[in-house]
């Protein structure tokens, strides 16, 4: 008998499996097998509990483009302490919770074209909610951390040093724990090879700490600009990918998953210059799920721009010449130079009304007087390149923000794009506005409409009254449409 359960969520059929594996001692007295990746394990001596639909009362899983490891929570019905009576939880990290949720097509099985929500977690903590009067009404909440993160929590041997290309060091660390990596893995340009240069982790560091440290150090030159590389888990291929930021925004590699509309009860379709060019073969639009009821849309204000969108002063030391060195990386030069941030990140987009306009408003004070210091224990030229890579990331992610909630879809992942369009015209004629007899110009369309890059997705499930699956999505956009004029950069 299959452990999968089939039921409807949001009037769509899904197959699901929720399995708690408690790591009992192996038959030979040794430890159970430890493996990496996103799939399931069934080592000798393991004990399993498969939870039914009614037992799982809720779940939320968060995927973040800026965080290589996933985390979540699951809320389970626990009458009469059923879980602990059934299988003894060790509590040492060897208790695993596997989750599988995949959409089913119109009656012929699982849809092969959509990525299932499939993860293997380790239980990091629990919280009990007990009824004062009824032992059948007890609930348990498990805090879940990524299985791969747990595997990397092993302490680094004292005195172990790391040298070579940062990307290659990362790949060797992951593969040494059985964690799969992609064939198109990019090693980047940062190389720790200048004698006696090396990375010597502190005695308190674990491999997970080292991975997060090394990810921040790497960069790659594309065009005339340096970009950071990002480490992300791909659910479709079940492996880690490591590629430069600009590759996500290039025209050929860009993945546009679906389209949404921002209009309510519109009976006609007019021309809006700020709409993205429709990708007929790429962008499926679900007419039952495409309307955005409301959005959390914002522009980065002073707190963000003062902290992240400013010039960088890179200081270093030349041990051969005995000189202190200093370089200034100016944000307007990185933004506007040929082959720079605007060309490789903000401009590879298409609007119906023309070309996109890079969005990063820089006044004269910001371009000439605001600086922050940056220093790393590496040669000065590499520190300068690393600082530029950080600046291009800040220009990208501390930019226009969009957040909204919609019906759930397991196929969505961070690192992909979605179209936001409007059926209305940007300027509506006189008489179409019920509150005025003048024409209405939707100036916000230039910011709101277009292709948005997904940075975070939260998969949320509730079964308290009805089965419900929603996605809370956060996105960024580095440009505005051609329907509005850019603010003047030359203001004092």
Q: State yes or no: cis peptide before 196, omega within 30 of 0.
A: yes
Assess whether pLDDT exceeds 50 at residue 64: yes
Assess whether pLDDT exceeds 50 at residue 460: yes
Tell me the mean pLDDT in the region 421-425.
Answer: 80
Tell me the mean pLDDT in the region 36-49.
Answer: 51
Least confident segment among 125-129, 156-160, 337-341, 474-478:
125-129
Instruction: Give the pLDDT score at 146.
Output: 94
Question: Mind listing the pLDDT tens digit for each residue in 85-123?
Answer: 766 777 788 888 999 998 886 544 445 567 889 999 999
* Structural contact between residues 487 and 359, judged by C-beta atoms closer than 8 angstroms: no
pLDDT band at 152 (very low <50, low <70, confident <90, very high): very high
Least confident segment among 180-189, 209-218, 366-375:
366-375
End-to-end CA distance of the chain: give it in Å, rounded.
Answer: 72
Instruction: Give the pLDDT score at 269.
Output: 67
Tell me the mean pLDDT in the region 262-287.
Answer: 67
Closest alpha carbon to 401 in 480, 338, 325, 475: 475
Instruction: Give the pLDDT score at 37.
Output: 33
| CA distances in angstroms from 58 to 31, 129, 411, listed in the order given | 32, 14, 20
Tell me the mean pLDDT in the region 174-193.
Answer: 93
Assess whether pLDDT exceeds 60 at residue 465: yes
> What is the chain's mean pLDDT, rounded?
82
The whole-model pTM stands at 0.87
| CA distances in angstroms from 435 to 87, 269, 442, listed in the order given | 65, 21, 14
Instruction: Give the pLDDT score at 28.
Output: 41
pLDDT band at 345 (very low <50, low <70, confident <90, very high): very high
Alpha carbon of residue 362 to chain centroid: 27
Q: Cα dihedral sign for 388, 389, 390, 392? A: positive
**Of 439 and 174, which is predicted with more confidence?**
174
How is 282-342 classified by DSSP, letter by letter?
T----TTT-B-S--EEE---HHHHHHHSSEEEEEEEETTTTEEEEEEE-HHHHHHSTTSHI
Assess whether pLDDT exceeds 80 at residue 488: no
Assess whether pLDDT exceeds 50 at residue 27: no
**Of 305 and 451, which is predicted with more confidence?**
451
Backbone angles phi, psi at 342, to 5 degrees: -60, -40
Assess whether pLDDT exceeds 80 at residue 319: no
**Of 356 and 258, which is predicted with more confidence?**
356
Closest alpha carbon to 249 in 489, 65, 61, 408: 65
* Structural contact between residues 492 and 365, judged by C-beta atoms closer than 8 angstroms: yes
Tell me the mean pLDDT in the region 358-363.
Answer: 87
| Domain ranges within the chain, ordered by starting residue | 5-146, 152-247, 254-431+441-492
Instruction: Give the pLDDT score at 166.
Output: 95
The whole-angstrom separation of Cα 431 and Cα 324 is 68
Q: Assign residue 97 a region (left: φ > 0; alpha: ψ between -120 and 50; beta: otherwise).
A: beta
Which fold, 5-146? Thrombin, subunit H (2.40.10)
38: its two tokens: 């996103």
Question: Mind listing the pLDDT tens digit for each residue in 228-271?
Answer: 999 999 998 899 999 999 999 986 667 887 888 886 555 556 78
**Of 366 and 147, which is predicted with more confidence?**
147
Tell me the mean pLDDT in the region 285-302.
Answer: 70
| CA distances in angstroms from 80 to 75, 139, 321, 465, listed in the order given | 16, 10, 74, 22
Q: Cα dihedral sign for 143, 148, 154, 160? A: negative
Tokens 């060790």, residue located: 90
The whole-angstrom separation of Cα 179 and Cα 93 is 17
Name the strand (E) or helix (H) holding 367.
helix 364-368
With both helix axes pointing from N to C terminus, report the angle between 166-176 and 207-217 in degrees, rounded to the nearest 10: 160
Assess whether pLDDT exceeds 50 at residue 298: yes
The whole-angstrom separation of Cα 252 and Cα 115 is 21
Instruction: Give the pLDDT score at 242.
Output: 96
**Of 89 and 359, which is predicted with more confidence?**
359
Question: Mind listing the pLDDT tens digit for each residue in 428-449?
Answer: 554 455 555 555 567 788 899 9
């Amino acid at each position: 008998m299959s452990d999968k359960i089939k039921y409807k969520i949001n009037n769509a059929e899904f197959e699901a499996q929720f399995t708690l594996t408690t790591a009992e001692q192996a038959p030979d007295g040794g430890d159970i097998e430890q493996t990496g990746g996103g799939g399931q394990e069934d080592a000798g001596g393991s004990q399993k509990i498969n939870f039914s639909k009614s037992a799982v009362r809720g779940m939320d899983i968060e995927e973040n483009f800026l965080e290589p490891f996933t985390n979540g929570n699951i809320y389970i019905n626990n009458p009469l302490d059923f879980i602990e009576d059934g299988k003894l939880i060790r509590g040492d990290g060897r208790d695993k919770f596997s989750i599988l949720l995949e959409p089913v097509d119109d009656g012929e099985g699982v849809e092969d074209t959509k990525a299932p929500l499939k993860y293997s977690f380790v239980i990091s903590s629990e919280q009990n909610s007990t009824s004062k009067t009824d032992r059948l009404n007890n609930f348990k909440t498990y805090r879940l951390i990524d299985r791969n993160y747990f595997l990397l929590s092993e302490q680094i041997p004292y005195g172990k040093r790391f040298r070579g290309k940062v990307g290659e060091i990362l790949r060797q660390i992951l593969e040494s724990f059985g964690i799969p990596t992609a064939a198109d893995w990019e090693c980047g340009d940062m190389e720790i090879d200048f004698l006696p240069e090396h990375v010597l982790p502190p005695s308190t560091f674990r491999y997970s700490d080292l991975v997060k440290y090394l990810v921040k150090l790497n960069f790659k030159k594309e065009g005339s600009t340096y970009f950071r590389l990002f480490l992300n888990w791909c659910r479709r291929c079940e492996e880690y990918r490591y590629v430069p930021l600009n590759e996500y925004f290039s025209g050929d590699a860009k993945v546009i998953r679906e389209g949404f509309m921002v209009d309510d009860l519109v009976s006609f379709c007019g021309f809006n210059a700020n709409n993205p060019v429709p990708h007929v073969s790429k962008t499926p639009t679900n007419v039952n799920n495409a309307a955005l009821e409301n959005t959390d849309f914002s522009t980065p204000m002073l707190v963000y721009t003062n902290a992240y969108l400013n010039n960088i002063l890179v200081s270093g030391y030349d041990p051969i010449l005995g000189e202190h060195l200093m370089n200034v990386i100016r944000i307007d030069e990185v933004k506007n130079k040929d082959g720079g941030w605007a060309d490789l990140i903000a401009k590879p987009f298409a609007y119906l009304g023309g070309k996109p306009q890079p969005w990063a408003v820089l006044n004269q004070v910001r371009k000439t007087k605001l600086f922050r210091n940056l220093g790393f224990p590496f040669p000065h030229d590499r520190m300068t390149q690393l600082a530029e890579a950080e600046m291009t990331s800040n220009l990208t992610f501390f930019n226009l923000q969009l957040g909204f909630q919609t019906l759930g879809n397991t196929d969505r992942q961070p690192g992909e794009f979605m179209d936001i369009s409007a059926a209305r015209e940007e300027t509506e004629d006189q008489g179409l506005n019920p509150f005025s007899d003048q024409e209405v110009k939707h100036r916000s369309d230039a910011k709101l409409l277009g292709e948005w890059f997904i940075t975070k997705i939260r998969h949320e499930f509730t079964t308290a009254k009805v089965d419900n699956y929603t996605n809370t999505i956060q996105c960024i956009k580095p440009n505005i449409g051609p329907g509005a004029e850019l603010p003047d950069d030359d203001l004092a």
